[in-house]
Amino acid sequence: MKNIKWVFTLYSLLALLSMFAIGISVGLRSIPGILASILLLILVMGFGFKTKKKMRDKGLL
């Protein structure tokens, strides 16, 4: 693990925070918060996978 890809670290931290937000929203019984957090998680993970595919196609991974 010589080279850290910081963009993937950022994506993983954002995904983790959105998972935390889902748990907090469930605890607060906030349906809009739950839905917004799930949507954010899907978007962040989608961007992460899209970025990984682009980098793999360019030969950077």
Q: Please give the chain's pLDDT, 61 residues, in tens.
A: 678 889 999 999 999 999 999 999 999 999 999 999 999 999 999 999 999 999 999 988 8
The whole model's pTM is what?
0.84
pLDDT of residue 59: 87
Q: Do 61 and 52 touch, CB atoms closer than 8 A?
A: yes
Residue whose pair of structure tokens reads 């963009």 in the numeric block:
7
DSSP letter at 59? Answer: T
Q: Do 44 and 15 touch, CB atoms closer than 8 A?
A: yes
